Amino acid sequence: MLSSVSTKVLDGTDLSAVQALLDRDPVTNVFVASRVRLAGVDPWRLGGELWGYYEGGLLTSLCYAGANLVPVEAGPDAIRSFAERARRQGRRCSSIVGPAEAAAGLWRLLEPAWGPARDVRPVQPLMVAGRPSAEVPADPLVRRVRPDELDLVMPACVSMFTEEVGVSPLIGDGGTLYRARVSELIAGGRAFARIEDGRVVFKAEIGAVTRHACQIQGVWVAPERRGEGLSEIGMAAVLRHALAEVAPVASLYVNSYNGPARAAYRRVGFAETGAFMSVLF
């Protein structure tokens, strides 16, 4: 029997309560919701633990503890409980990511034990679109990447990841896990690119997906082609695919200092609705 306030590792018996909690904000919670949709709640399938915070016997908050530490619907008391569990367990994640207030609260409590971080991005605007803008035409040359084009798009994917995260995804296992993830996105029809003369000049993927929302990620333009507007018309194309074929709402989050990208996304049809925070180790 749980006490009036308690935290536990969830399992399959908690699935319906977890789904109801995630549905409170399906756009903000799309990453964790997509993992649960695919793998359920059992840690051996999920690739990490899902911690539940209970008040009065009711599940009120979650924290996904896998490759990322992601708080969900977490207020100050839940954050303290999750931070204590994370501190006892020791750092196993490569980042803390989530709504800015909750992620900041976690980091304040964990920094003395886990710090210093390699990078802290305190404000990453969350941008959401429910329909494409008529202002920007979709690039007709942006299309789904075919499975036989994996080797062609991998250099662009590695370049994007290295620019964005600050380390190469090839470190450690030589890129085996990262290559498998890119291959999975391609096989699922969620990787898009504009390819000219056998080279990627624009790419993006639709990462997390639920019936309520999806999240666009990995937006990249070849360095020598930047400034030509390829990101705008490319994103217009990807957004149209996302809304027509994947989910009724698309989201993404972007670094606050990337003014040109934020402006481009607004022209494509996205609006800023909140903020995320990332702590990278």
Q: Give the dihedral sign, CA 189/226/122/114.
A: positive
Domain encompassing residue 246: 142-273
pLDDT category at 52 given cuts 50, 70, 90 is very high
Q: Residues 163, 261: one domain?
A: yes
Largest CA distance in the chain: 64
Helix (H, G, I), strand (E, B) or coil at 141: coil
Q: How many structural domains are present in the chain?
A: 2
pLDDT at residue 1 tops 50: no
Residue 116: asked if its preceding bond is cis (omega within 30°), the reply is yes
Q: Answer yes or no: do 161 and 226 share one domain.
A: yes
Q: What is the average pLDDT across 48-62?
A: 96
Residue 130 in any domain: the answer is no
What's the whole-model pTM score?
0.93
In a domain, 171, yes or no: yes
pLDDT exceeds 80 at position 214? yes
Mean pLDDT of all residues in 60-82: 97
- pLDDT at 261 (0 to 100): 94
- The pLDDT assigned to 6 comes to 87
124/122 Cα distance (integer angstroms): 7
| 174, pLDDT greater than 60 | yes
| Residues pairing with 272 in the sheet | 127
The overall average pLDDT reported for the chain is 96
In a domain, 201, yes or no: yes
Q: pLDDT tens digit string along 246-278? A: 999 999 999 999 999 999 999 999 999 999 999
Look at residue 193 in the predicted model and tell me its pLDDT: 98
In this structure, what token pair is assigned to residue 253? Answer: 């989050």
| Residue 278 domain-assigned (yes or no) | no
CB-based contacts of 254: which residues, under 8 Å, 6+ apart? Answer: 124, 125, 127, 261, 262, 265
Looking at residue 36, what is its pLDDT?
97
Q: What is the CATH number of the domain that holds 100?
A: 3.40.630
Q: 15-22 and 30-39 are packed helices; what angle lies between their axes, rounded to 10 degrees?
A: 150
Residue 2 has pLDDT above 70, yes or no: no
Domain CATH number, residue 161: 3.40.630.30
What are the DSSP calls for 198-231, one per residue? TEEEEEEEEEEE-SS-EEEEEEEE-GGGTTSSHH
